[in-house]
Amino acid sequence: MSKMTIPFGPQHPVLPEPLHLKLVMEDEIVTEAIPQIGFVHRGLEKLCEIRDIHQMIQVVERVCGICSMIHAMCYCQAIEKQMGVEAPRRARFLRVIWSELHRMHSHLLWLGLYADAFGFESLFMQLWKIRERIMDINEATSGNRVIVSVNVIGGVRYDIPPEQLSWILKELGQVEKELKAIQNTMLNDYTVKKRTVGKGVLDKATAYELGAAGPTLRASGWAQDARQLRYAAFDELDFEPVVETAGDSYARGAVRFRETLQSIDLVRQAIDKLPAGEINVKVKGFPEGEMVARVEQPRGELLYYMKCDGSKHLDRLRIRTPTFANIAPLLAMLPGCQLADVPVIVLSIDPCISCTER
């Protein structure tokens, strides 16, 4: 049988973003996948030379529009740590609330796209309908639906008043109820299982060797979550990483579904323990030296490295995002699968190309 190359992307119905894969096929079976990236590269790391450290918050928020708040939180935490400033306790709890809301909306978005990838359109519509409640909370608390822009160096910009907190709890109760109603379809439906179980298997050892991150890693049996580093207020909250062992597309979906429910619980805990007090502290001067911070993004571990010589501009900003770590595992999953399963498997790592290419 002769080999044939099929292009996948950059503009493809299941991908909201441009990713190009060259699939080397033997009959209907993929034997090799060659990624070609660079369609979303903007070069924003270099913008740190013309924007000062406070303006850079707005730029790093736009590394990725889906988890924008978490990018800014990581950036601010790195600078705060270097300058010896600690964000007030209330600010740290508010950061947890917004970051978990972002995780929920990201996971719901992904679960919807994933359902759409295997042709279950009504499930896609239902999940996105639930997601709108989270977007409403974002809009009510910060004024914007997607890019909430709440972080500043030294704390957060907005406070959440008590009446809004009780409204958030009510909305989350509704989200939980609606998710529980869908749970059986998402996890036990015959159609869903037929399209996902055993597709794109990544075993435990390979996942570790190739440096997978986030739900892709946890679906292969590793209980590793950057929130275990106990940044922000996670040291006072109670949670366990969600782990599945099968390592296939179904397991990755299940991890994300269960993490969404876990995030609801985390927001509830954070609101319950939310202390009174200031929401930010004034920060004077500029950092000096090298800084590193790690946080857990919806897609996995995010790392910021920065270098500054005490002037108002950073010397170097380097962002390592989870999708970049997950591309090597993706290339290991694809060989041996059917062409029809490629969209589901590509989507199962939750690719965020604008994070990867920046």
User: β-pairing, 288-297 with 300-309?
Assistant: antiparallel
**Does 62 engage in binding with other proteins (CB under 8 A)?**
yes
Q: x/- binding map, residues 95-114, to other proteins, per CB under 8 A?
A: --------------x-----
Give helix 249-273 / helix 162-188 axis angle, nearest 10°.
160
Residue ranges in 317-356 that form contacts with other proteins under rule CB under 8 A = 352, 354
Coil, strand, or helix at residue 23? strand
CA angle 164, 151, 97 (to 5 degrees): 40
Query: In b/e form, how buried is each residue of 268-277, taking b as 16+ CB within 10 angstroms?
Result: bbbbeebeee
> Which residue intervals of 118-245 are DSSP H helices?
121-142, 162-188, 190-196, 204-209, 215-218
Pick one of 89, 145, 294, 307: the residue that binds other proteins (CB under 8 A): 145
**Residue reference for tokens 């979303």:** 40
Pick one of 1, 2, 13, 310: the residue that binds other proteins (CB under 8 A): 13
Q: Is 3 exposed, middle or buried (0-12, 13-18, 19+ CB in 10 A)?
A: exposed
Distance CA 314, CA 288 (A): 9
Distance CA 172, CA 351 (A): 27
Contact of 173 with 303, CB cutoff 8 Å: no
Span near other proteins by CB under 8 A; candidates 6-14, 194-202, 236-244, 245-253: 6-14
**Does 186 engage in binding with other proteins (CB under 8 A)?**
no
Q: Which one, 326 or 354, has the nearer CB to other proteins?
A: 354
DSSP string, 290-347: EEEEEEEETTEEEEEEEEEESSSS-SEEEEE-HHHHHHHHHHHHSTTSBGGGHHHHHH
Cβ 12 to other proteins shortest distance, Å: 7
Span near other proteins by CB under 8 A; candidates 32-40, 162-170, 275-283, 287-295: 32-40
Q: Which one, 128 or 305, has the nearer CB to other proteins?
A: 128
Pick one of 147, 182, 187, 261: the residue that binds other proteins (CB under 8 A): 147
Pick one of 39, 158, 167, 208: the residue that binds other proteins (CB under 8 A): 39
**Residue reference for tokens 């909250």:** 237
Q: Is 136 exposed, middle or buried (0-12, 13-18, 19+ CB in 10 A)?
A: middle
Pick one of 46, 177, 180, 312: the residue that binds other proteins (CB under 8 A): 46
Span near other proteins by CB under 8 A; candidates 64-72, 92-100, 235-243, 323-331: 64-72
**Does 182 engage in binding with other proteins (CB under 8 A)?**
no
**Does 59 engage in binding with other proteins (CB under 8 A)?**
yes
Residue ranges in 113-142 that form contacts with other proteins under rule CB under 8 A = 124-125, 128-129, 132, 135
Cβ 136 to other proteins shortest distance, Å: 10
Cβ 59 to other proteins shortest distance, Å: 6
**Does 35 engage in binding with other proteins (CB under 8 A)?**
no
Cβ 20 to other proteins shortest distance, Å: 9
Bridge partner residues of 280 (DSSP): 155
Pick one of 24, 140, 146, 328: the residue that binds other proteins (CB under 8 A): 146
198: alpha, beta or left? (left if phi > 0; alpha if psi -120 to 50)? left
Cβ 144 to other proteins shortest distance, Å: 8
Q: Which one, 41 or 204, has the nearer CB to other proteins?
A: 41
Distance CA 20, CA 342 (A): 13
Cβ 105 to other proteins shortest distance, Å: 9
Residue ranges in 222-281 that form contacts with other proteins under rule CB under 8 A = none
Q: List residues binding other proteins (CB under 8 A).
A: 10-13, 16-18, 38-44, 46-47, 50, 58-59, 62-66, 68, 109, 124-125, 128-129, 132, 135, 145-147, 352, 354
